[in-house]
Every structure is written in structure tokens, then in C-alpha cells.
Amino acid sequence: MPLSHISNNFRLRNLFILFRKEFTFVAFALFLLFAFTFFTRSNPHSHSHDEFHSNSILIPFTPLTNFKQIGALCLDGSAPGYHFQKGFGSGSHNWLLHVEGGGWCNSIASCSYRKMTALGSSKYMDTSVPFSGILSSVPSQNPDFFNWNKVKMRYCDGASFAGHPESEQKGSGLFFRGQIIWEAIMNELLSIGMSKAKQALLSGCSAGGLATLIHCDNFRQLLPKEATVKCLADAGFFLDEKDIIGNSTMRSFYHDVVQLQGVEKSLHKECLAKLEPSKCLFPSEILKNVKTPVFLVHPAYDFWQIHNILVPQGSDPRRRWKKCRLNIHSCDANLIRTLDSFRSSLLKTVNEFQQRKDIGMFIDSCFIHCQTWMGETWHSPTSPKIKDKTIAESVADWFFDRQVVNLIDCPYPCNPTCHNMDFSRV
């Protein structure tokens, strides 16, 4: 076994132990990053990791200009930023933005922990990263967007780019500037050419997918009226569902995030007039008020939501879910029925949006989380497919108005093309 593979296994194992011992949304976000590294290098169903990155160019981190003067600060006060690759040829006037994910922090303690990581400070971020999946510049891996101007927005505020400084607590050493970071990065991108965009797609994964929904209409308003502008949320459709012992764990968590970081000011006023602010942070409510076309890429057996919404830490004292949470193939018939019920809740929630022609969907039956930022799941010979379409092909059909796209997979285990995460090997 290569040394690098052993190292990744060791790092993932240690982080997984941390995750099981004392879970936080931040720890799990970090665990997720290592998990996908492990997955792409070790999953026998996937292509070689090297195959998808051999042609990748490392894209340098660009810290935000004048970040201190405008008050755009990561949780620890460091510079937020992004990675930018200039478009070329027919894509030189088109823009694709991808918002990084990584959970949220809901308390002074969890935000203080987070600011010591790449999810709260640019001091810990990679100085250069490869672009893959939806950000790839390889035509065979990203046929419709490969030559666009591409931006990866780094996530360091802990509230889906929606926090406000009025909520900062003196002496905490924390800065809640998500909304300011969003506005500052948008202004900088507009100044380097995005103001002349002919086509633009705002995308994001997980908490970045939620940020995409929150800011989708604002993104549309920033660009020329004649431009085609749409949004894509990948694994960002978080459900307001009770866990297996009847607690509203996710709603309680969102309540704390909203209260701590003043997120209410970034949410739709129409929703706030009717509902409690934390309820308005759920995508099912946000999407009711979004006027810009949106595409949802979502696994019906989203392992992040299974781990944190359906079966969060402390909800399974008898450890009936222990093996199932690690590998869906280890779930017995009773547990699969519970997972299928969770899937049904997702389908029921998105059903009202299926009537809107501007909303597209690719909901597969895979045990995974984000799928657009990896070449293996975005577009490859072995990518997940529904009706013989990859995610990339489905998104492109919708974006370029080739056809209405509402692809809903059959229940697990019907889809043999799924890339299912397996944490039992950690």
C-alpha cells in the first residue's frame, strides 16, 4: 500500500475517533473533507484519483483586497478569499462560482474551535487547490462549463455567508461577518469581469449549497439583466425533520446559529413575517421565495443528514444504528424502512417545487453527501446516473434549457451506479 494511502487512512481514522468521541458540526465538517479524500483514493467503484487530477492545475488562493478596511473578516479576523481561474474561448464571458461547504458553528465554544481550522481562518487554508468536478477545466470531465471563469469561494464564517457584526460579543475574539464577506467577494469579482457576464451559475455544496439558496436572488440582481443567471444547491436541502427519538435536533441547532450570528437579517422578509427566524433558514422555506431558477442535486440517503438530523449523537444509546450509519449496506430491513421514511419526507418536501419549470432536480438514491465537486460523481464513465444521465449532463440540460429536468431515483438499493460512502473501513 502506498505511503500516502496509509497516511490518509491514519488521518481519517484519528479524525473519525474524534468525531465519535465528542461530535461538533465543525469536527464533522473536517472529517467530511478527509472522508472524500479517502473515498476518491480507495473506493473500488471509482476511477483512479490520479486519473482525475493528473491534468489539474493548482489554483492559488486570492485573499480579499482591503479586507480589514471593509470589515470582511473570517471568524478569527484573518482574510477571507477565493480561488480564481480565468475563462477562455467561448467561455470567457461566462462565470461559475462554487461556494465551499463545511457545516456551521452555533455557540461561542464551537466557533472558537472552528476559528482554529481552515473553516474559520485563512491561516489554515491550502494556498493552492486543484479544480475538479464542476470546476474542472478538462472537457471530458466537465463538457459544458470547462472553459468558463471559475471561482471557488472559501468558507470561513460558520453561518453560510449570512452572519452580521451586530451580533458579535465583546471579548470573544470572534467576528461574524459572513454577509459582509459575501458582498465584498461579489464586488471584487464584478470588478475583474463578472459585471459583463453573459451566463452565470452560482453553486455550492452542503452549507455552501444553503448559502447559494440564501444569496441566489441577490446574485441575479448583481449581474446584467440580459444575462442568463441560475443557481445550483448540492446536498444543501436540509430537512426540518425530527430524529429517531422525536427531537427537532436540526431546528434547535439552526435556532442557535441564527441567534448567535444574527442570520435573520439575511433571510427573506416574506418568510420572517410568518415564521420564526430559524424556520426560515431551512431550504424548503427559502425556495418558496427564490425567484431565480434553481437546480437541486441531492442524495435521498444523504449520510450527513442521516448522521446529524435523523440519528444524531446521543439518539441511539443501544447502538442499533452503529453499523448502518457507517455503511448503508449494513442496515437491516427495519433500519432501511426508517431511511426510506426519511427519503419520503424529502420527496414530499420537494414535491411542491416540481411544478415550477425553473426548478430542476437530480435526486439519486446514494449514501453520500456532496457530488458536484468530485470528478468521479460529477461526470465520469462510472458516475451516478438516473435515466442514463450523469449529474453534469442533467445540470447542463436544465441550465441551457434543453429540457425540463426532474429526475427522482427509485429507492435504495435500485441504482447500481451509486457511489456509496463506506466508513466501516476507517
Longest dimension (CA), the chain: 59
Helix (H, G, I), strand (E, B) or coil at 118: coil
- Give the neighbor-by-neighbor strand order of the sheet with 406-408: 128-130, 58-63, 81-85, 149-153, 94-99, 199-205, 228-234, 294-299, 359-364, 406-408
Burial class of residue 135, CB neighbours in 10 A (0-12, 13-18, 19+): buried
CA angle 158–14–41, rounded 5-degree value: 85
CA–CA distance, 412 with 366 (Å, rounded to integer): 7
Our answer to whether residue 424 is catalytic in this structure is no
**Four-point Cα dihedral 123, 125, 126, 131, nearest 10:** -150
Is residue 375 within 8 Å of 328, Cβ to Cβ?
Answer: no
Our answer to whether residue 369 is catalytic in this structure is yes
Cell for 326? 457507517
Helix (H, G, I), strand (E, B) or coil at 338: helix
Annotated catalytic residue, options 46, 78, 206, 365: 206
Annotated catalytic residue, options 49, 83, 369, 379: 369
CA–CA distance, 378 with 146 (Å, rounded to integer): 12
Annotated catalytic residue, options 144, 157, 234, 302: 302
Cα–Cα nearest to 291, from 360, 218, 354: 218
CA–CA distance, 73 with 69 (Å, rounded to integer): 10
Our answer to whether residue 255 is catalytic in this structure is no
Q: Would you please indicate which residues are annotated as catalytic (active-site) residues? A: 206, 302, 369
